[in-house]
Amino acid sequence: MQQLSVVILAAGKGKRMGSDLPKVLHSVGGKPLLAHVLATAHHLEAAVRVVVYGHGGHQVKTTLAGESGVLWVEQAKQLGTGHAVAQALPVLDDAGITLVLYGDVPLTRLETLQPLVDQARQGQLALLTAKLADPSGYGRIVRNEQGQVQRIVEEKDATPAERGLCEVNTGILAVSTAKLRGWVAELGNENAQGEYYLTDVVALAGHDGIAITAFTADQPTEVQGVNDRRQLAELERFYQRRQAEALLDHGAILLDPARVDVRGEVVTGKDVVIDVNVVFEGVVRLGDRVKVGPFCVLKDAMIGDDVEIFSHSRIESAEVGAGSQIGPFARLRPGSQLAAGVHIGNFVETKKTIIGPGSKVNHLTYLGDAEIGAGVNVGAGTITCNYDGANKHKTVIDDGAFIGSNSSLVAPVRIGKGATVGAGSAVGRDVPDGGLCLTRAPRKDVSHWERPAKPKS
């Protein structure tokens, strides 16, 4: 099988975006536009992925430095799409085929592109087109009386009759690399914009007797590019609709599919319920019968079966065991690991903390750098004082301990198994198993005490 090279044109500045950020680094679904295209090329099993960059090239390469196996080619002067492809040709193998994609067209599906690749391997030139109610700004597909593609005409060069055509060029094509190399060498810039159009290779292919096959995208939005903020917002909504439909197809219940945002990957078990205005980031796994309340944010989280997450909670790089309850208004920070049946209540924050089965932390508490055993009750207003201004220290609370409200546990410190810390205590030394720790000052009552009064003027 002929190897596939994917050339991604990403040199445009994007003036209409009104931003210092290169256009291809603006995000859809929490990921740069160009990253979406690179992922698609990877799933097509491309042997070579070439990015032709220009404006903001250093920033683009730095942002996507984690993408392995990408060849970066600079287009120092932007002289058109044909000129951009010419910059990539020296690194391509003539024995294979080339698919041309665009760094600002992020949502073209694998199943839309695969037929183009297959047709190119059969020796044809394959184009991707779209039919638009308003084709303004796009090059038009010109066919002969038999319906065969003859050429593509850019709008600025089109006649009034050609401008009336509704089938447009997406710019995406696949063809033999050797043929492409020859046609690109023949391109001229005698047109309204003085540029070398890649679209002109279609007429050259027809002249050489190469069969041209046009595939029409089922959904025009999936081949839509980004030129301004409005188009970016439209693609974001289109992308989120796709993600919501995928969750529904896997059996999740979305109380309003239009008000869930997926900015990564979500894997759901059976009978998961997701309320409105929930945001998923990174990789999130939800077990069976999980309920996520409104206005929650979950990022890189693993949630066990039968967990209920109440409204306005944030869970990041954390694990929650089966049957636990979280929130409302709770925050689990990175490194938090909750066993089964744990209760984390309102305005509780945990960081790098392990909490054992059945333990409860119900109100207004901070637990950082801590290890909590099973069956522990942590009262309202408790904090682990884990930072001394230079170093972090660990707090250990053993099984069955009871921490009274408004207690400060000054790390490093251990609270023994079954021990009790009285409310309002500041604990700086270990408490033995079964012990009681009270650090409140003895009560003192003053009879007939008068509150200070302001002097009369």
DSSP code per residue over 85-129: HHHHGGGS-TTSEEEEEETT-----HHHHHHHHHHHTTT-EEEEE
In the block, tokens 């033999």 appear at 176
Q: Is 363 a catalytic residue?
A: yes
> E strands within 179-296?
212-216, 253-254, 260-268, 273-274, 278-286, 291-292
In the block, tokens 């003895």 appear at 442
How many CB atoms within 10 Å of residue 75?
Answer: 23
Closest CA to 170 of 96, 122, 107: 107
How many CB atoms within 10 Å of residue 30?
Answer: 17
Distance of CA 263 to the CA centre of its chain: 3
Closest CA to 44 of 110, 142, 104: 110
DSSP code per residue over 129-175: EEE-S--TTSPEEEE-TTS-EEEEE-GGG--HHHHT--EEEEEEEEE
Q: Which residues pair with 18 in a beta bridge?
A: none
Q: Are 317 and 331 in contact (CB under 8 A)?
A: no
Looking at this protein, which amino acid is placed at residue 294? P
Residues 6+ apart with CB under 8 A from 21: 56, 59
Q: What sign has the CA pseudo-torsion 20, 22, 28, 30?
A: negative
How many CB atoms within 10 Å of residue 191?
Answer: 15
In the block, tokens 């992922």 appear at 39
Report how far residue 30's alpha carbon sits from residue 360's, in angstroms, rounded to the nearest whole number: 34
Both tokens of 453, joined, read 């009064």
Report how far residue 83's alpha carbon sits from residue 205's, in angstroms, rounded to the nearest whole number: 18
Please identify which of the residues 36, 363, 393, 448 carries the catalytic annotation.
363
- Residues marked active site are found at 363
